[in-house]
Amino acid sequence: GISRVFLAVAMEGSDSEITSNGGPSVSLRQKASSLMASSAAAYRSKPASFWALLALSGGAMLTAFPAASLLSRLYYNGGGQSKWILSWSAVAGWPIPALLLLPCYLFGDASPTWPPSPWLCFWYALLGLLSAADNLMYAWAYEYLPASTASLVAASSLAFSAVFGRLIVGKKNRIGLSTLNAIVVITAGVVIIALDSGSDRYPGITGRQYALGFALDVAGSALHGLIFALSELVFDKHLSNGGDGAAATRFHVVLEQQAAVSLSAFAFTSAGLAATDGFAAMRREAAGFTAAGGGAAGYAMVVGWSAATFQLGVLGATGVVYLGSTVLAGVLNAVRVPLTSVAAVVWFHDPMSGFKILSLVITVWGFGSYMVGHSSAKKTARERGSSPQQHRRQNQIRS
C-alpha cells in the first residue's frame, strides 16, 4: 500500500544495516544516497498529482485538526456550555466539500456517483451517525479536560486505527512488532495521564467529571479509528479507485463521500440540538460570550471557524485514507498531538506537569518507534522480494 511507501521514504535512512560479508554498518553518506534513491523511485512510481493530493490531505490534517481542538477549548473558555452546539459546529461545514465538487463536475472529467447504490447510502448514513457520536464524545472531553491533555489522550487513536484497519480492511494494514510496540508505549502514556489526573484539573471540575471526560476521549479515539477503517472499506468495496495511479484522477469520490457523510452527521446532530433546545441556547450564549472579542460577533467567529477547521481536517483525513490507508491516517493523527499540546500550553496556559511532559515524550517515542520499525520491516520485505541481480548490486554498493 502507499502508506508503506510513504513511511519507508520518510524513514528509510533510520536503520543501520550489515553488509553481506558481516562488515560494519553502512555509513551516513551511504544511507543518504540510499534514501535519495528510494525517494526518487517512490516519487516516480506515482504521478505528481498523487503526491500533491497526499501532501495537501496530510497538511490539512496537521493544521486543521489542532486548530479545531484549540477552538473547542476556546468555546468553553468564552462561556459556551452546550456540547450539542460544539458537536453541531463540527459538521455544520458540510457544504465545503459539496462546493469543492462543483469545479470537478463543471470543468473536469469527473461524473457524479449517481444514483448511489443502497449499500452506499447505508454506509453514508452509518458513517454519519458514528461521526455525530464521535463529535459529541470529543465535545464532552474538551469541556472537562485541558486541550493539551485531551490531545495526548487522543493519541490512542493510532492504536485503534491499526487494530480496526487490520480487522476490517485486512492485509493493507498489517500489524507487526513495531505497531504492537507503539500501541503499548502510547497506551502507557495515556495511563500516566490518568494517574496524574489531579495536576491539570480546571477549577470547578470534579474528579468524576474529569474521569468522564477522560473515558469519553478514549472512546472517541476508538470511534475515530473505526471511522477511518470503515471509510477505507467503503472506498475499496464501493468506490474502487482503480489503483494508486488512478487515485488522483478519481479524487472527487473523496469529496462526494465527505459531503454525504457530513450531511448525514449534520442531520443527526441537528435533531439532537433541536431536542435539547440548542438553537435557542445559541442566542443566549452569544449574548454573554467573552472570547474572540466577545458578543455575538466573537461567538459567530469561534463557531464558524470551528465548522471550517473541523471539516477541512476530516476532509484531509478522508483523503489520506483514500490515497493511503487507515494506518497512515492514524499515524498523521498522532503527529498532531505534540502540535496541539504545545499550542495549548502557549495560548491557554494549560498546566504542564512532569507527568504530562513524560507522557508527551512517551507518545512521540511510540510514534517514532512505529515509523522506524515499519520502515525497517518494509525494507526487509522489499529486499527479500528483489532479484538476485538486485541483491548483488545492493551488496556492491554497501561494500
Q: What is the pLDDT of residues 100-137, one digit of tens each?
A: 988 888 887 777 877 888 999 999 999 999 999 999 99
**Comparing 172 with 249, which gets the higher pLDDT?**
172
**Comparing 40 with 308, which gets the higher pLDDT?**
308
CB 177: neighbour CB atoms within 10 A?
12
Phi, psi dihedrals of residue 42, rounded to the nearest 5°: -65, -40
Is residue 74 pLDDT above 90, yes or no? yes
What mean pLDDT do residues 39-48 have?
66
- Report pLDDT for 265: 97
CB 317: neighbour CB atoms within 10 A?
27
* Model pLDDT for residues 270-324, shown as the tens digit of each residue: 999 999 999 999 999 999 999 989 999 999 999 999 999 999 999 999 999 999 8
Percent of the chain with pLDDT over 90: 42
- 79-88, 245-254, 322-331: lowest mean pLDDT where? 245-254
Is residue 267 pLDDT above 90, yes or no? yes
What mean pLDDT do residues 179-183 have?
76
| pTM for the predicted model, two decimal places | 0.79
What CA–CA distance (Å, rounded) separates 332 from 310? Answer: 15
Q: Reduce the DSSP state of residue 18 to 3 states and report it.
A: strand
- Report pLDDT for 46: 75
Phi, psi dihedrals of residue 16, rounded to the nearest 5°: -90, 145
* Model pLDDT for residues 183-217, shown as the tens digit of each residue: 788 778 777 776 765 666 888 888 899 999 999 99
- Report pLDDT for 15: 42
Grid coordinates in use for 70?
Answer: 484549540
What mean pLDDT do residues 72-93 have?
95
Classify each residue of 252-271 as buried b or exposed e, where b means 16 or more C-beta atoms within 10 Å of its C-beta: bbbbbbbbbbbbbbbebbbe
- Report pLDDT for 388: 46
What CA–CA distance (Å, rounded) separates 145 from 197? Answer: 10
Confidence of residue 358 (pLDDT cuts 50, 70, 90): confident
Contact 122, 296 (CB under 8 A): no
What mean pLDDT do residues 330-354 have?
81
CA angle 202, 204, 205 (to 5 degrees): 60
What mean pLDDT do residues 261-269 have?
97
Contacts of 204 (CB under 8 A, 6+ apart): none
Whether residue 115 has a cis bond before it, omega within 30° of 0:
yes
Dihedral sign, CA of 7, 225, 99, 296? negative
Contacts of 3 (CB under 8 A, 6+ apart): 172, 173, 324, 325, 327, 328, 331
